[in-house]
């Protein structure tokens, strides 16, 4: 390999790397930050031992509580190019990780941060 061909190959590799970095930085500059609040709760008909325990404890403290349902709340901050993309990603996150579709329902709200 001659010096010339070595530097030609090196130049192509460096150029490709710079193009990838420029594209990455450009895409990041188009993104906005969104804050999502996700609530995951049990579907009706599923036993809720945590909610029942809380209800019993509140009754022992003389609160006239009729029912208690336990759930989880997640706050997620993410980057997306649009509100629709952020909604799509949050919905996917819920379906793939945060909620069990057999026993859980979920709702979420998203706002620009």
Please name which of 89, 76, 79, 83 lies closest in space to residue 33, comparing C-alpha atoms.
Answer: 79
Contact call for residues 65 and 55 (beta carbons, < 8 A) = yes
Q: How far apart are CA 109 and CA 37, in angstroms?
A: 5
Tens digit of each residue's pLDDT, the chain (113 residues): 676 777 677 677 777 776 677 666 666 667 899 999 999 999 999 999 999 999 999 999 999 999 999 999 999 999 999 999 999 999 999 999 999 999 999 999 999 99
**pTM (2 decimals)?**
0.71
Contact call for residues 103 and 43 (beta carbons, < 8 A) = yes
């Amino acid at each position: 390999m001659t010096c010339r061909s070595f530097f030609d190959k090196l130049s192509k590799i460096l150029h490709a790397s710079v193009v990838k970095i420029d594209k990455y930085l450009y895409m990041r500059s188009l993104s906005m930050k969104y804050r999502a609040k996700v609530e995951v709760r049990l579907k009706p008909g599923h036993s809720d031992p945590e909610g029942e325990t809380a209800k019993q404890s509140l009754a022992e403290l003389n609160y006239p509580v009729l029912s208690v349902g336990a759930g989880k709340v997640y706050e997620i901050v993410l980057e997306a190019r649009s509100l629709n993309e952020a909604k799509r990603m949050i919905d996917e996150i819920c379906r793939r990780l945060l909620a069990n579709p057999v026993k859980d329902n979920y709702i979420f709200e998203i706002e620009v941060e």
